[in-house]
């Protein structure tokens, strides 16, 4: 039975507010599960199990699947769809409230999910900031977000810097709205992010790095010397000096910088004598 009929039979109306666009095309489900290169010994975390269509594909490939779903209306359906898969544990929870370190108990894991688009950035942040991170993520997101994740200097954003700091993102498939029910208003893409064991650039400390990057993107259209001056609460002269010493023209804009350039600025900022930065 297709997803639409299944939900109609159960009298479940998909909720836009929960980002409910369910996948119903078997080829797409296989494509997503295959992109994760799941080994029979792997543990997979699925965010937003929905009707269980993707969960089944994951359960057929992995040792264990931990499937999180916030909508309690879907739980009876999930339990019945997954009854032949004792290797699946369904949790009724909001992923943003789940402590991944506790849930996974320190074992290696992958994340595969068709994300609820209304909280994509928050979920990415939750995954990246977990103490014990996934080895790789295969995520269906809005195409526009996918493009931001893989952007190159010239079109970078805080999201691209974060994703590329934690891993190497690439787009593995583009999905038309027709593979979902109901159809989303936007095109989608599947992104695979292989998470690094160590960041690809040397930073003094992750917090300082992101403090500097967030300051830089705080006023995106401004030249870096201005955005860093207000975001880091330092004088224009100190900001220009910091950038020059990091080898970055103070007139450039945040979206043009590479990760290495951000790291160079963050290293110098961290090493600075605080007195130099009093306005
Ligand atoms: N995996 C299913 C599929 O591919 O058909 C459903 C994907 S649908 C785009 C997103 C799912 O995430 C929905 O089932 C929705 O109820 C669930 N969801 C939304 N917000 C959530 C949250 N904060 N925590 C866990 N699940 C959530």
Q: Mean pLDDT per 10-residue run, the chain (279 residues)?
A: 90 97 96 98 98 98 98 97 98 98 96 98 96 97 98 97 98 97 96 96 94 92 94 95 98 97 97 57
CA of 165 to the centre of ligand 1 (A): 26
Rounded Cα–Cα distance for residues 106 and 98 (Å): 14
CA of 177 to the centre of ligand 1 (A): 16
Q: Which strands sit side by side in the sheet containing 136-142, from one edge to the other?
A: 88-92, 64-69, 43-47, 110-114, 136-142, 188-195, 167-175
- Tell me what pLDDT residue 273 has: 52
Q: What is residue 84's DSSP assignment? A: T
Structure tokens at 28: 């797409």
How far, rounded to the nearest angstrom, does the alpha carbon of residue 230 sit from its chain's CA centroid? 28
Phi first, then psi, for residue 180 (nearest 5°) are -115, 155
Same topology between domain 3-195 and domain 206-276: no
> For helices 236-245 and 259-271, what crossing angle results, to 10°?
120
Measured CA to CA in angstroms, residue 277 lies from 15, 214, 244, 246 at distances of: 50, 18, 15, 16
* Residue that is written with structure tokens 């688009």 in the block: 117
Decide whether any atom of ligand 1 lies within 6 Å of the 226 Cβ.
no
Every domain of the chain and the residues it spans: 3-195, 206-276
Q: What is the pTM of this model?
A: 0.95
Decide whether any atom of ligand 1 lies within 6 Å of the 29 Cβ.
no
Do the Cβ atoms of 15 and 21 come closer than 8 Å?
no
Fold (CATH) for 206-276: Helicase, Ruva Protein; domain 3 (1.10.8)
194 strand-pairing partners: 136, 168
Fold (CATH) for 3-195: Rossmann fold (3.40.50)
Do the Cβ atoms of 128 and 108 come closer than 8 Å?
no
Residue nearest to atom 1 of ligand 1 (CA): 49
């Amino acid at each position: 039975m297709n997803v639409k009929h299944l939900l109609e039979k159960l009298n479940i109306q998909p909720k836009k507010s929960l980002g409910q666009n369910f996948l119903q095309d078997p080829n797409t489900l296989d494509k997503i599960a295959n992109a994760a290169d799941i080994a029979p010994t792997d543990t997979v975390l699925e965010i937003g199990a929905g009707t269980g269509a993707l969960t089944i594909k994951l359960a057929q490939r992995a040792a264990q699947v931990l499937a999180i779903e916030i909508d309690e209306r879907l739980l009876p359906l999930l339990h019945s769809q997954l009854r032949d898969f004792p290797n699946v544990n369904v949790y009724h929870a909001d992923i943003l409230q789940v402590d991944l370190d506790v849930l996974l108990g320190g074992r290696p894991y992958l994340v595969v999910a068709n994300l609820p688009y209304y909280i994509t950035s928050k979920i990415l942040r939750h995954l990246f900031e977990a103490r014990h991170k996934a080895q790789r993520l295969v995520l269906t997101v809005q195409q526009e977000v996918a493009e931001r994740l893989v952007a190159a200097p010239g079109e970078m954003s805080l999201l691209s810097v974060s994703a590329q700091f934690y891993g190497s993102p690439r787009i593995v498939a583009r999905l038309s709205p027709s593979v979902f029910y109901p159809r989303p208003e936007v095109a989608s893409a599947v992104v695979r992010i292989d998470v690094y064991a160590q960041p690809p650039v040397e930073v003094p400390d992750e917090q300082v790095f992101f403090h500097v990057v967030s300051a830089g993107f705080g006023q995106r259209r401004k030249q870096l010397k201005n955005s860093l001056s207000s975001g880091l609460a330092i004088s224009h002269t100190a900001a220009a000096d910091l950038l020059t010493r990091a080898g970055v023209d103070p007139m450039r804009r945040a979206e043009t910088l590479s990760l290495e350039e951000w790291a160079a600025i963050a290293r110098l900022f961290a090493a600075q004598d605080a007195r130099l930065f009093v306005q």
